[in-house]
Amino acid sequence: MGAAFAAQNANAFRTRLSVVPVDVAMQVTVAGQGQITATLAGNRLTVNGAANGLRSPATIAKIHRGAPGIPGPAIIDLTVTKTTTPTISGTVDLTPSMVDDLRNGQLYVQLNSERAPEGNLRGWLMAN
């Protein structure tokens, strides 16, 4: 019964990773796209996804806090493979305020790469 109850209380989120806003000089270094899915069970968030089309290998992926379209601080580290077709994953326990931020569309995933260390792709996590 416990597993069934936990599954019923899980919440699904997803985002499409797209290129961060760039200036003309960065257009040659920033490219790609990706998908992220996330499941919240209680306060535990499990994140999985992948990207492709990067012009340089991925370096880091993090969850940031910020209103849709407005960049904010990094709050959670994710695991990323350091390739131009990276996979992204992580399982973390969220604080109650982080859970509220997630449910209100205030958390996003950002993927950085060697040639775009300030951000290559990003997408806000939204409920399915």
**Cα 93–37–26 angle (5° rounding)?**
100
**pLDDT per position as a tens digit, 97-125:** 999 999 999 999 999 999 999 999 999 99
What are the structural domain ranges in the chain? 2-127
CA distances from 89 to 1, 27, 64 (A): 28, 27, 15
Cα(64)–Cα(36) distance, integer angstroms:
14
Which of the four CATH numbers 2.60.40.200, 3.40.50.620, 3.20.20.80, 3.30.70.100 does domain 2-127 have?
Answer: 2.60.40.200
* Contacts of 120 by beta carbon, 8 Å cutoff, 6+ apart: 19, 20, 30, 31, 32, 54, 58, 111, 112, 113
The answer on pLDDT for 3 being more than 70 is no
Look over the chain and give the mean of its residue pLDDT values, rounded to a whole number: 91
* Contacts of 21 by beta carbon, 8 Å cutoff, 6+ apart: none
**pLDDT per position as a tens digit, 80-95:** 999 999 999 999 999 9
> Hey, is 3 helix, strand or coil?
helix
Measured on CA atoms in the order 75, 125, 17, 28, is the torsion positive or negative? negative
**pLDDT per position as a tens digit, 26-41:** 788 899 999 999 999 9
Cα(92)–Cα(110) distance, integer angstroms:
16
Helix H segments across the chain? 2-8, 96-103
